[in-house]
Amino acid sequence: MLAEHRAVAPLRVFLVVLFGILVMLQTFSLPGQFAHMAEESPDFAYLRWPMTAVSVFWVLCVQVVIVSTWKLLTLVEHDRIFSDVALRWVDAIVWAITAAWAVLVGVFLYVGFNASDPGLPLLLFLMVVGVAALGLLMVVMRALLRQATTLRTDMEAVI
């Protein structure tokens, strides 16, 4: 358990840095990028706001995962990871991944039906499969956490 506690502090530093970068992306970079694209390619200017909204939503989903991970790290520090509270934070991660995946499927379908080149739809399909695998992995991890929580509760009842 000592190794896990040593990993918590550096992980928190990386999570703070990542969260800060995502906030900058969400507020400055993405809206500015899509505004610039609308100016440079007036034919696609109608996509400026939908692309901005979708991108900001995906960043928000990642931020939910970061905050949930932070909360789970707090539970690890206090040796309370095997609790119902932890399951709620894992549920938040699963729901954030599910929401991001659902929007990604919508984007994939829109691009797939309107694309003239197979490159972008193929890349989006790869992302759909990857995010689905990540979401399913989190569902399995949640099931393992539930089993471990039940086992620990049973062991504490015996002792």
Q: Report CA torsion sign: 81, 136, 130, 62.
A: negative
Q: Report CA torsion sign: 76, 79, 85, 86.
A: positive
Q: Span 138-145, mean pLDDT?
A: 96
Give me the amino acid identity at 123: L
Q: Report the distance separating Cα 96 and Cα 67, nearest Å.
A: 11
- Express each pLDDT in 75-86 by its tens digit: 998 989 999 999
Mapped onto helix, strand or coil, the DSSP state of residue 116 is coil
Q: How many CA atoms lie within 13 A of 47 on its CB side?
A: 17
- Express each pLDDT in 96-138 by its tens digit: 999 999 999 999 999 999 999 999 999 999 999 999 999 999 9
Predicted local confidence at residue 1, as pLDDT? 54
Q: Report the distance separating Cα 93 and Cα 104, nearest Å.
A: 16
- Is 67 exposed, middle or buried, given 0-12, 13-18 or 19+ CB atoms closer than 10 A? middle
Size of the chain in residues: 159
Asked whether residue 159 carries a pLDDT value surpassing 80, the answer given is: no
CA distances from 8 to 38, 55, 62, 80, 103 (A): 43, 29, 19, 14, 32
Q: Report CA torsion sign: 32, 111, 95, 16.
A: negative
Query: What pTM, to 2 d.p., does this model score?
Result: 0.91
- Express each pLDDT in 59-71 by its tens digit: 999 999 999 999 9
Mean pLDDT of the chain: 94
Closest CA to 89 of 106, 104, 70: 70
Give the domain ranges of the chain: 1-157
